Every structure is written in structure tokens, then in C-alpha cells.
Amino acid sequence: MRNVVAGLGAVLVLAVVVGVGWWLLEGGGLLGEEEPGDTAEATLEAYLDAWERGDHDQMAAQLRDPSETFLDVHEQLRAALDPQALETEVQQLAEPQDGRALADVALAWEVAYADDLVWEVEIELLRSQGEWAVSWSQESVHPAWQPGLVFAVTVSEVERAPILATDGTQLAGPGDQVVLGFEPTAVEDAEKLIEAFEEGAGAGSAAERELGRDDLVDDWFYPVVTVSGEAAEDAWDELRDLPGALRRTSEGRTLLEDGFARHIVGEVAEATAEQLEELGAPYEVGDEVGQFGLEAAFERDLTGSEEVAVVLRDGEGGPVREVLLEHQEEPSGPLQTTLDVAVQRAVENALVGVETTAAIVVVDAEDGAIRGSASRPLAEYNRAFSGRYAPGSTFKVVTLEALLADGLGPDGEVSCPQDTTVGGLAVTNVGDLDLGETTLRRAFAESCNTTFAPLAVELGTDALLAAAERFGFGWEPDLGLTAHGGEVAEPEDDAALGASAFGQARVASTPLHLASVAAAAEAGAWHPPYLLEDRERDDEPRGLTEGVLDDLRDLLREAVADGTGTEADVHDEVRGKTGTAEADGDVEHAWFIGSFRGHGFAVLVEEGGSGGQVAAPIAGRLVRELDALLGDPEAAVDADAAADPEDAAIDVDDLPDPDDE
């Protein structure tokens, strides 16, 4: 029995020995495992695994000839990047000759301050006496790294991006600013100084306020007004000879021209405590932020966040030699508007000398792009976009389209008595106008309320509202700025329907929307106005009734050439319609809407009275300016008539008080 047991034990031992040997031959044990140094692959894997862990000593253990700077370089790299993780990926491992291998390796550093930082390195491996090792070089760190360079992460403020016109012209951006002010002890004649500030920069009240302070300090510079470098010389001409007047020049945010498209573009100034609380980090005391207009509406888009850069520099604090990564968490960039510099300048020029509250908007008839807009006074809100008013007889353009669509021709017979009653509403004409039996053409040109009110009742509510919808009423703009469209409330009775026909009752619009109405009458389709080139637009154009465009344009031309709009008849391509709109408080707003060379426009003079006497002359000036800046000189009426602001000044107090149009 003892011999049998001994034999079985021997067999078991032999089986174990054979099994272990087989396992080792299959590579499952120590004899079959590739150790670093055995192959290029195993050596590279050990090197990269150690790099991912940040074990620089273990990396150094894989080197052929350890460099004295190896540890310093890799520790500086990791400390500078402060990675959360590192991932390595072998793109290619080739052995171009026996005993030498080249590996292309992608390094992906996961960092908190930017998207992953990725670059490729080339790692060389050599075999000597049967052992593989990494032959470390500068290409093993970064293709651009050289001894003496260090890795660094920089954080910098980003300059506020510019606001641009449609052609890329800078409407607002970095430029020279000139601050005009005074030094108290040097002032000899405060009244003359105040007058000079008013004449030179329109800042008389600001100068008076500053000079009247009781806490003025000797030898101190007190700023009164900041102007662009372009306007500074004219202003300084008024101030330079007056004792105490001073100026300081610096760089800052400036408009293309002083006041140019100011209500749209906006301005920047030091943030208030309330603004800092609303904006939050990273804004802090002393930062300048947008106060209104696009500057305020797109504050974050224009400034973005701080810009982080990973760089190679020449020693600590030395010059940057290579930028490896630039990242901005909240990207900033230029804001491109649809404004046309020439059109905007024409709008600004048309309002020179207008000494009352007014607004002008010009849109492109082909696509609705807003090409120019201005409101007065400059210090008040943007009434061109957000001021809601009754449109008065300018709405007759909509009613006229509905009548033409219903089959009434331009020379169809209509009645225009001095007065009439519609649904109990007494309707009259301007100046007791009485054309008797006449044509639709003449009734529109002379703006007969007593024609359009009863015709609208015959037409019916649905037809009038459908026409209003074709002209965009009921649409609300999405411009990035506060803006409103036009609205026609459904008339509750014939009286309201009749009043709606000539833009009263519960009809309201903005200058912006009425400019788009004029543009639609020019192009045959209403396009939603838009202001920003890159902003997505969802609204589709609305076509006018097929077959009415020629008659509509013909009657709009006649209203200018031989109707209430003759003050705007400065060019044979001008079409338009006047309007005088009743408002609360027994005031009347003056309107003119029209078109010229592919543009629709609206002119409003708040509390101006007669559209034909007040708004139409401004429209004429606008057309002259547009013609001079955009048009055909040979076809133009002489624009010099509007060149002198003194001659062109309009004071509504000197005008008669007309009846409703």
C-alpha cells in the first residue's frame, strides 16, 4: 500500500509540474509576461502609464540615458497645466530599423479651464544589449518645446468686441476719446465757458452744473463731456481761448460719429451697484458696461469671459514664444447690424435742425433689413422702435390695398363730401375739404376721411383685417432691442371700423412698423424688419394681393406729386402718404411714410400737427440726403437746399393748428 500511495503522489507532482509549465509557455506566468525593456511596446506602455499617473520617477526608469533636466521639465509641465487627468494614445509604432522604434503618441490633457488640450509627440526607443529604453528628447515633450522654455497658463481680459454696420464699418469700438472740462481757479468767465461748451459740444447744462458745485477743488480737472477724436477739434475751437478750459485724451469706446445711431448702438459707462448685482461675476466695481441699446442688450456677447491661453514662454515671466491653446468659456465677437452707414448718415442729416420730438426709420424693401434709424431727443428713449402711436391717414395705404383687392379701380367713382356720419361717428376732412363725386385716385391723394370710412364699412371687417395682416399688423419684432410692431384691434361696430380705415380708433403702430408698411407697398410683399445680420429669422414674407401693386404704387406717387404730400416731392421716384393722428390730450402727431429707390421709410414728429406741413418736408430732406449719398446725381433734385441746418430748422410752434386729416 505504501508503494501505491508513493506512486500516486509522484504522478500528481508530475501533473502539477507539467500544468505549470504549460501555463508558463502560454504566457500566463512570469516567464511569458513582457517586462519593460523586453520589447519596444512594453517599454513604451510602461513609460506612458507612468506619465498618465504623474509618476515621473517611473518614467525616468524607462530612459536610456536619464537627463538631468528630465524630472524638472515634467514636473514644471504638470504643475503649470494643473491637469485633472492625462490620457495617452499610441497613434503609430514603427521599427524603421532593427533596434530602433518611433512612436507617434497623442496626449490629451483634461483641464478645468478649457477644452481638452491635445498635442502629439514623437518618442524614440532604442535597443541596446537586448534591452529597450526611451531615448528622451525635446520632441518627447512638445514639438515646440526647447530647453529654457517653460509652460504657463495665462488669463487675460478680452477687449469689448465692436458693433459693426452691414459692410463691417465699426459703429462702436475702441478709439480716441477726448474729455473736455475745466480747472476751477483758472476760470475767468463762467458764463462764457458754459456758452462755449454748449456751442462746441451741446454740453452747456452739464458745464453749468459742474461749475455750480460748492465742493470744487483748486488745480483739479473737472470733466464736462466726452467726445470722439473726430468731433473734438470743432468743440475745442470754441473752448481753446477761454481761461480754465482743458482737455484730456485717452482711449475708450467711441461711436463712429457723435450721436450716430446712438439709440440703436447704445453706450457704455461705469457700472452702477444695481448693474453689478444683476450681472454678477466676473464684473466688479469700476468695470464699464452697456447702458442701453445693443451695448446693453448684448453685454455678454460683446465681452464674453476671460481668455485662457496655454503658452510656452522664455523662462518664468519671459516673452511668449508659442501659444498652444486659446480658450474663452463664453466666446465674444463682433455684433454685425444691418445698418447702412450712408443711409444712417442720411437719417441723421435729415433731423438736423428739427427742434422737437421726432423719429425716422428706413428699411430695405426687398428683405426688411433696417438700414437707418434715429430718434430725437437723443437723451430720451428709442421712440422709433418702441413708441406706439395712432398712424392716422398713413393707414389708408392698408385700406387702399383692401379696396383695390376688392375690385375698386383707381379711377372708380367715389364720394368725398365735407363731412359724413358712419355708424354714428361724425367724420370730417382737413380744412373742410369737399371733392363731391370724385375718383378713388383723387380721394386718396387728398386724403378724404369721408371717402375711406364708409368704403371700409362696405368692405367689411374681415377684408380690412386681412389687408392689415398682409402688411404685418399683429407681428411683434424680435430685434434684440425693445421694439413693437403694429396692431389693429377688431372693430366692435361700424363707427370703429370707419375710424380704423383712416388709422384712428384702436389702431396703433411704431415708426419702425410703418416704415415696413411703406416698404411693402414698394416691393409687393411685407418683410419682417430685422436688425442683426447673424440672428435667425423665422417670419416669412407676406405677399400683397396679386395684381394690385402697380395701382397701389401709382396712387402713392400721385399723393406726393399732386396731393397732401407735395412737400416731399423732391424727386420723381418718391411715393408716400401723409398722416395726422389724433392722440390723448388734444394733440396730433405728424406722419409721412414713403419709399425711395428700394427703401421704405417713416417720419414721425410727435405733437407736430399736420403730416403734410411738418413730416413731409423732413421726408423731402431725407430723400435728398439718400439721393446724394446713394443715388444717381443726374436724376437728383439739388440737395444743397437741405444743407444749411438753420434754413432747415422746423419749429412746430410756428405752424398752424390743422384739422384732423
449-459 vs 494-501: helix axis angle to the nearest 10? Answer: 130
Cell 516673452, residue? 319
- How sure is the predictor about 91, in pLDDT bands with cuts at 50, 70 and 90? very high
Q: What angle do CA 19, 22, 23 make, to 5 degrees?
A: 85
Q: What is the structure's pLDDT at 170?
A: 92
Alpha helices, H only, 382-460:
383-386, 396-405, 440-445, 449-459
Q: Which of 140, 373, 375, 393 is catalytic?
A: 393
For 40-147, CATH number?
3.10.450.100
- How sure is the predictor about 310, in pLDDT bands with cuts at 50, 70 and 90? very high
> pLDDT: is 453 or 300 the higher one?
453
Asked if 514 contacts 472 with a C-beta cutoff of 8 angstroms, the reply is no
**Res 177 pLDDT > 80:** no
State how far the Cα of 491 lies from the Cα of 481, in Å rounded to an integer. 30
Q: What is the structure's pLDDT at 90?
A: 96
Q: Cα dist. 386→238, 264, 484, 489 in Å? A: 37, 12, 5, 18
- By CB neighbour count within 10 A (0-12 exposed, 13-18 middle, 19+ buried), where does 261 fall? buried
Q: What is the structure's pLDDT at 20?
A: 41
Q: What is the structure's pLDDT at 4?
A: 41
State how far the Cα of 568 lies from the Cα of 406, in Å rounded to an integer. 30
- How sure is the predictor about 477, in pLDDT bands with cuts at 50, 70 and 90? very high
Asked if 72 contacts 17 with a C-beta cutoff of 8 angstroms, the reply is no
Q: What is the structure's pLDDT at 201?
A: 84
Q: What average pLDDT does range 466-473 have in this prediction?
A: 97
**Res 509 pLDDT > 90:** yes
Asked if 283 contacts 255 with a C-beta cutoff of 8 angstroms, the reply is no
State how far the Cα of 495 lies from the Cα of 270, in Å rounded to an integer. 53
Closest by CA to 631, choosing from 592, 596, 589, is: 596
Which three-class secondary structure state does DSSP give residue 10? Answer: helix
What count of Cα atoms within 13 Å lies in the side-chain half-sphere of residue 633? 2
Asked if 120 contacts 143 with a C-beta cutoff of 8 angstroms, the reply is yes
Q: What is the DSSP string of 601-623?
A: EEEEETT---IIIIIHHHHHHHH
**Res 644 pLDDT > 50:** no
**Res 13 pLDDT > 50:** no
Sequence spans of domains, the chain: 40-147, 163-328, 383-599+624-654
> pLDDT: is 183 or 249 the higher one?
183
Q: Which long-range contacts (CB under 8 A, 24 or more apart) does 266-274 make?
A: 266/172, 266/290, 266/291, 266/292, 266/293, 266/294, 266/295, 266/296, 266/297, 267/172, 267/291, 267/292, 267/293, 267/295, 268/160, 268/295
**Res 647 pLDDT > 50:** no
Q: Grid coordinates representing 337?
A: 447690424
383-599+624-654 falls under which CATH superfamily?
A: DD-peptidase/beta-lactamase superfamily (3.40.710.10)
Q: What angle do CA 351, 354, 360 make, to 5 degrees?
A: 40
What count of Cα atoms within 13 Å lies in the side-chain half-sphere of residue 296? 17
Is residue 516 annotated as part of the catalytic site, yes or no? no
Instruction: Please state, rounded to an integer, the average pLDDT across all residues of the chain.
Output: 88
Q: What is the structure's pLDDT at 459?
A: 96
Cis ω for the linkage preceding 143 (within 30 of 0)? no
State how far the Cα of 236 lies from the Cα of 254, in Å rounded to an integer. 18
Q: Grid coordinates representing 179?
A: 474729455
**Res 111 pLDDT > 80:** yes
3-7, 183-187, 327-331, 460-464: segment of lowest average pLDDT? 3-7
Share of the chain above pLDDT 90, in %: 68
**Res 628 pLDDT > 80:** yes
Cell 407735395, residue? 566
**Res 158 pLDDT > 60:** yes
Count of other CB atoms within 10 angstroms of residue 429:
24
Please determine whether the domains at 40-147 and 383-599+624-654 fall in the same fold group of CATH.
no
